Amino acid sequence: MKIAPLAEVKDRFSAYIDESQESPIIVTRNGRPVAMLIAIKDEDDLDSLLLAHDQRFLRLLEEARQRVRATGGLSLAEMRQQVE
């Protein structure tokens, strides 16, 4: 992973986009991390990144986990029965 100052990234943005294909690049401002450039190789990558940062989705996921912990969830047979 490379760390680069914002001014340098702005000056060579296209080159940093190319470099992000190999590994993420941390962008700093005044020596502090402020952003990260991550390559998006396909639509699945994009969907995963968007969901990982979607607060509504994360809240729904946590609520579902809590329901499974509280109820024990469904067995495989019960799930198949509900799907059919």
How do residues 48-66 score in pLDDT, each as one tens digit? 999 999 999 999 999 999 9
List the structure tokens of 41: 């190789």
List the structure tokens of 33: 């991390």
Q: Residue 7 corresponds to which amino acid?
A: A
List the structure tokens of 25: 């690049």
SS3 assignment, position 1: coil
pTM higher than the cut 0.75: no
Digit-coded pLDDT (tens) for 17-57: 999 999 999 999 999 999 999 999 998 889 999 999 999 99
Question: In whole angstroms, what is the distance from residue 16 CA to residue 23 CA?
Answer: 10
Q: What pLDDT is recorded for position 73?
A: 85
